[in-house]
Structure 1
Amino acid sequence: MDNYFFDFDGTLADSGQTAVLATQAAFRDYDLVVPDENTIAYFMGVPIEVSFKKMAPEVEFTDYEFKELLAIFRSYYKQMENSNLELFPHIKKVLQELNDEGKQLFVVSSKHSAALMRNLEQLEIEHYFKAVLGSDQVKKFKPAPDGLLYLIKKYNLDPSKSVMIGDAIFDLQMGNTAGVATCAVTWGTHKKRELVAENPTFVINKPKQLLKIN
């Protein structure tokens, strides 16, 4: 493989508690039924513009109300991220080795680009990536393939030498639709059996195994 597309949350970094706590706080502030941790974790692979409506299906938000709910979440998230965000073990070493081998690395996330860059810089890994793409930079979110197809076209990449790496079924669905290889990682939010059901090209249990996929 020459081109590696990484999801962020649950793949590169453990930010689960940040998202869970911020979501629950925002729903509580808005007097909504507060989703449990498992529900929030399941939907972490898609943008909050989609997941929040799925977690409150009984509510018909006005545009103003929904934008306010998202703003409340982002405010809580920013307050909490410094103490609840960390890289998974060996991720930085793996990124360094891939970089040293001349591989091209990218991030394709359901997180807004501003928060994504802030988190990458906080973790001191932003310099490993040729490009970073957030959910606000594409018309259609995961599991649609738009983000991958945009980067493949912009950087003239060979899909047959490219792999999408993620911890959620949405990452694998995106990669499969885009025509690239897919790598399911089992240290994130979705269960191994859910990931395997998407027929990924690779399934790995430890970050170091990323160095052996080809």
Structure 2
Amino acid sequence: MNKKNRIKTIILDFDGTIADTKDSIIQTIQATLDELGIQRANESDIKNLIGLPLRETFVRVAHLTDRNMQEKAIALYREKYNQISLNTVKLFPDVKETLKELHDNGLTITVASGKGKEALLNLLDRMGIARYISLVFGEQDVKNKKPAPDMALLILEKTNSGPQETLVVGDTVYDMAMGQEAGCITCGVSYGNHTEEQLKSRNPDFIIGKFAEITGIIGGIYQL
């Protein structure tokens, strides 16, 4: 890669990258299916689909093909999620400190998530990291959601950043696909919802095992 480029912007996924939300998502999916009177889904199937839009998740894990049922499931999920997430979501180690360091070094930090915007903003605020985030995009903000590149392209436009000045960090192959299709540098995190082997199948530029290693990537390969 071109060492004269400087990383200006970071695009972070939320679920499985910034915060451990696996239990909150699984519990809310199952509670939603319970209320709809539908058989509970396989937990490993839910885990592998974290990062995709809710509609697609319900189609895949519960075979909800009726549009009205999909809308009802999504509404119920959003209604239940805020309460369930109160005691089930936590930041991964060193996230807050790393975000502060990156922010203080002048990088623009953004979040691109398949999560609903309201829940996303509430969680960022509750966890005390909203102050470090310049832009937040949830599933309602683009027509074509991950793994499509639309959200990353929107962030490039809003921040006036070039693709090779932008690092996309996520825990799933959907994040890697989004970043690669937008021409960005990509970094997978192996502690989230997809395994290192799954991430390697997308050939990201980097794979890290701890969130704090982002600063090493930026400082070691580029000028921080």
Compute the TM-score of the two structures, normalised by the length of structure 1: 0.96
Amino acid of the structure 2 residue aligned with 1:170: Y
User: Over residues 28-56 of structure 1, what are the superposed CA-to-partner deviations in whole Å (9 max), with x where a residue is unaligned?
Assistant: 22122211221111111111011111112
Deviation at 1:13, TM superposition (A): 0.6
Tell me the SS of whatever aligns to 1:213: helix
- 1:65-86 deviations in whole A, cap 9, x for unaligned? 2211111212221221110111
Q: Secondary structure at the match of 1:107?
A: strand
Instruction: Report runs of 4+ in structure 1 exceeding 4 Å deviation.
Output: none
User: Is 1:60 matched with 2:50?
Assistant: no
2:117 is the counterpart of 1:113? yes
Task: Name the residue aligned to 2:84.
Answer: 80
1:156 and 2:150 matched: no
Residue 142 of structure 1 and its aligned partner are, at CA, apart by: 0.1
Partner of residue 34 from structure 2, selected from 28, 35, 39: 28
Residue of structure 2 aligned with 1:40, choices 38, 41, 46: 46
| C-alpha distance in 2 between matches for 1:60 and 1:205 | 37
2:186 is paired with a residue whose SS is strand
Q: Displacement, 1:171?
A: 0.1
Could you list the per-position Cα deviations for residues 60-110 of structure 1 after superposition, in whole angstroms to 9, with x for gaps in the alignment? 32x332211111212221221110111001000000110111111000000
CA offset digits 1:134-187 (Å, max 9, x no partner): 110101000000011011112211211111100011000000100000000011
Match of 2:13 in 1: 7
Q: Equivalences for 1:164-179 in 2 at 5 Å? A: 164-179=168-183
**C-alpha RMSD of matched pairs (Å):** 1.1
Find the counterpart in structure 1 of residue 99 from structure 2. Answer: 95
Q: Using the alignment, how far apart are the partners of 1:206 and 1:154 within structure 2?
A: 28
The aligned counterpart of 2:128 is 124
Is residue 147–residue 175 contact of structure 2 (8 Å, CA) maintained in 1?
yes
Runs (5+) with no aligned partner, structure 2: 1-6, 219-224
Instruction: Select between 30-39 and 18-27 the one with higher mean Cα deviation.
Output: 30-39
* Partner amino acid, structure 2, of 1:198: R
Q: Between Structure 1 and Structure 2, how many residues are aligned?
A: 212
SS of the equivalent of 1:200 reads: coil
Q: TM-score, normalising length from structure 2? A: 0.92
Are positions 1:71 and 2:75 aligned together?
yes
1:17 to 23, 29, 39: 23
1:213 and 2:217 are equivalent in the alignment:
yes
Structure 2: which amino acid aligns with 1:60? T
1:183-202 CA distance string (max 9 Å, x none): 00011000110001100000
